[in-house]
Structure 1
Amino acid sequence: MKHALQNIILEIHQKEDKISSQGKTLIDEAYEMTLYLQDLLFSAKGHIIENGFCNDAEEINFFRTIKPQILGKLIYYNKVYRIETACPVDNGKMYYGYFSTQLANLKREYMAHVCNTDFYRYYRSGRTDRDDTYFKRGNINYHDGLNSIVFEIDPLFSTFFDYKIARIIANELLYSYLLTKINPEENPDTILQKPESSNDVFWTDSKNALIELVYALHASGVISHGKIGIRKISLMFQILFRIPLGDLHHAFLRMKTRAGSRTAFLDQLKLSLEEYMDKDL
C-alpha cells in the first residue's frame, strides 16, 4: 500500500483522462469523479489509520502532497456537479450572469479566507522549514483561531493544513473552470458548430497531446511575437481540428505533475522528426 500511496496522483490523472475520453457530459464526469475520489480518500484513510507511516518524511509528504490532491479534486468535482446541476439555462444573459456570480463568490471567498494568510504565503513560497508543524498529526494550535472545520476533522487522518492546501487546489481548478464557462470562445459547442470546410483535417492523437503543443507554442512566443494569449491559440486549433479541448488550465496542471516526462508528446515529435531526417541519409 505504501507504493500505491505514492502512485495515487498518477492514478487520479489516468482516471480523469479515461473519463474525459468517453465523451460524458460535465455533470456525469463530475459525478463519477466525485464517487471515485471519495472511495480513494476512504481507502487511504483506512490504510493510514491501520498502518501509520514509516517515518516523519513519509507522513509530511502524504499530508502536504498526496492527501490534498485527493481532497482538493474531490472538493472541486463536487462543486462543479452542484454548479452544473443548478445552472438555470444553457446560454444567454442568465447563463452568463449565473457563472459570473459563481466566479465573484469564489474570488471573495479566496480573498477572505485563503490568500491573505501566513500559511498561504508559506505554501506558495515553497518553504519547508515549518513542515514538521503543519504536516504532522497532533500539532494543531487552537490558539491560532483556526477555522471551525478543525473541530470536525479526524485527528488521525488530518493535520488541518492538508485541508488548507486542498482548498487552494480546489479553488484554482474552480477559477479556471468558471472562466471557461463565461468565456464564449472556450465553449466547445460553439467551436463544433463552425463550418466544416476541410473534413479531411482532424486531430488523431489525444487532447492532452494537442494541449501540450498549444502551451509549447504559447511559452515560446512564436505566434504573433507572443502577443496573443493561450486561449486564442487554443481556439485556432479547436476550430481547425473541430475538437473541444475543455479546461486547458486543468489539463496543464496534470501535465506538470505527471510521472515520467512532462513533455511526452513534444519528445515524441522530436524523435519522429529525427527519424524522418535519417531516412534521407
Structure 2
Amino acid sequence: MQSTYKDALYSILKKEQEISLESAHVIDESYRMTIFLQDLLANMKRYVTEKKFKDQNEEIEFFRVIKPQILGKLIYYNKVYRIETSCPVHGGKMYYEYFSVELQQLKNEYKEHIFNSEFYRYYRSGRTDHDDDFFKLGNININTGLNSFIFEVDTQFSTYYDYKVSRIIANELLYNYLIIKINPVDRPNIASTNGESTENLFWTESKNSLIELIYALHVSGAISHGKTGIRKISSVLQVLFQIQLGDIHHSFHRMKDRAGNRTLFLDQLKSSVEDYMDKDL
C-alpha cells in the first residue's frame, strides 16, 4: 500500500512535466492538471475505503503527507485556472494591479486563517507528538472550536487537519506563482558565496536559445532530479541573466515546429565545448 501512495505522488510529477511540455498556455496547463488531480484524489479515496490502512503509521503518513500533496496541488491549479481565466488584460498597469490584488487577498487569508493558528506552528515546527490527534480518522473534536467547514468533511476520508495542510501547501504555491506574475525579473541582486555580485551577468544569446536550455535542464532531470518545474527554472534564470522571456511554453511549441535543426543552440553548445577540448590536446 505504501508503494501505491508513493506512486501517486510520482505520477503527479510526471504529469506536471508532460503537460508542461505539451501546453502552450498556463490556462490549459492548470485546467488539465485540475482534472488529473481530481481523478487521482477520487481514486485514492476508493483505494483507502476498500483496502484500509495496515497500521496507524501508514494512516498518519497518508493524511499528513500523501493526501495533502494531492489536494494541495488540486486547490492550487484550480485557483490558477480561475485567476488566469478572469484576467482582464495581458500586460500593462491593469495586469499588474490585477495580480497585486490577488496577492494581497492571499496574504490576508494567510494572516487570518493560517499564520496565527496553533496548528500552523505545530506543522511548521516539524512536531509529530500530536499526530495521533490530527491525522487519524475519527478523532475530530468539535469542542476545540473548529471551522464550520468541519460539518461538510467526509469523515471516512478526512481528519480535517489534512485539509489545513493542503491549504498551507496550496497557498505557498500560489504565493510563488503570483510573485512571478507581478514581477518576474526585477529581484534583489543574487550574490555568490564569495560575495561577488551577479549584477553584470546577462544573457547574450537569443531568447529561444535560453528556452532550449531551460527545457533541456528540466526534461533531463539535471535540476532537483526533474522535480523543479519549468516556470521555477525559467524564473531563476530570468532573474540571473536579466532577461524577459515572456510565454516560454508558446515559444517552445513554435520551436518544435520549426524547420531544420530544432535544438540548434544545444548542438552549438556541444560543438563549442568539443572545439575547446580539442585546443587543449
Question: How far is the alpha carbon of 1:23 from its aligned partner?
Answer: 3.9
Alpha-carbon distance in structure 2 between the residues aligned to 1:77 and 1:157 = 21
Contact 1:207–1:245 (CA<8 Å) still a contact in 2? no
Task: Report sequence identity in percent.
Answer: 54
Aligned-partner Cα distance in 1 for 2:181–2:246:
17
CA distance in 2, matches of 1:73, 1:118: 23
2:60 is matched with 60
Which residue of 2 is the match for residue 153 of structure 1? 153
Unaligned runs of 5+ in 2: 187-202, 226-233, 250-276
Q: Which residue of 1 aligns with 2:218?
A: 207
Task: Tell me the secondary structure at the aligned position of residue 110 of structure 2.
Answer: helix
What is the aligned-residue RMSD (CA, Å)? 3.2
Q: Specify the code of the residue in structure 1 equivalent to 2:148.
A: S
- Kindly state the Cα deviation for residue 198 of structure 1 after the two structures are TM-superposed: 9.0
Query: In structure 2, what is the equivalent of residue 87 of structure 1?
Result: 87
Q: CA distance change for structure 1 residues 232 and 103 in 2, over 3 Å: closer, same or farther?
A: same
Helix, strand or coil: the match of 1:21? helix
Q: Residue 103 of structure 1 contacts residue 175 of structure 1 at CA under 8 Å; is this kept in 2?
A: yes
Tell me what 1:20 maps to.
Answer: 20
- The 8 Å contact of residues 25 and 247 in structure 2, kept in 1 or not, is answered as no
Mapped partners of 2:83, 2:206: distance in 1: 36
User: In the alignment, is the contact (CA less than 8 A) between 1:238 and 1:245 conserved in 2?
Assistant: no
User: CA shift at 1:43, angstroms?
Assistant: 0.3
Segments of 5+ residues of structure 1 without an aligned counterpart are 187-193, 214-229, 247-276
CA contact (8 A) 1:238 1:244 kept: no
Aligned partner letter, 1:143: N
Distance 2:46 2:91 in 1: 44
- 1:41-79 Cα distance to aligned partner (Å, 9 max, x none): 000001111111000000000000000000000000000
The superposition leaves residues 155-207 of structure 1 with CA deviations (integer Å, 9 ceiling, x where unpaired) of 00000000000000000000000001100428xxxxxxx98659877527233
Cα separation, partners in 2 of 1:57 and 1:87, compared to 1, 3 Å:
same
Across the two proteins, how many residue pairs are aligned to each other? 226
How far apart, CA to CA, are the structure 2 residues paired with 1:95 and 1:84? 11
CA 1:211 to 1:234, structure 2 compared with 1: closer, same or farther past 3 Å? farther
Partner of 1:29: 29
Change in Cα spacing, 1:245 to 1:237, as seen in structure 2 (3 Å) is farther
How far has the Cα of 1:80 moved from its partner?
Answer: 0.3
Q: Deviation of residue 235 (structure 1)?
A: 2.9
Larger radius of gyration: 2
| CA 1:200–1:206: 2 relative to 1, 3 Å | closer
For the structure 1 residues 197 and 10, does the alpha-carbon distance in structure 2 shift closer, same or farther, using more than 3 Å as the test? closer
Residue 239 of structure 2 is aligned to residue 235 of structure 1: yes
Residues in 1 aligned to 2:66 and 2:85: alpha-carbon distance in whole angstroms: 29
1:114 aligned onto 2:125: no
Q: Which residue of 2 aligns with 1:260?
A: none
**The residue matched to 1:89 in structure 2 has which SS?**
coil
| Structure 1 equivalent of residue 172 of structure 2 | 172
Structure 2 CA distance, aligned partners of 1:162 and 1:168? 10
TM-score normalised by length of structure 2? 0.72
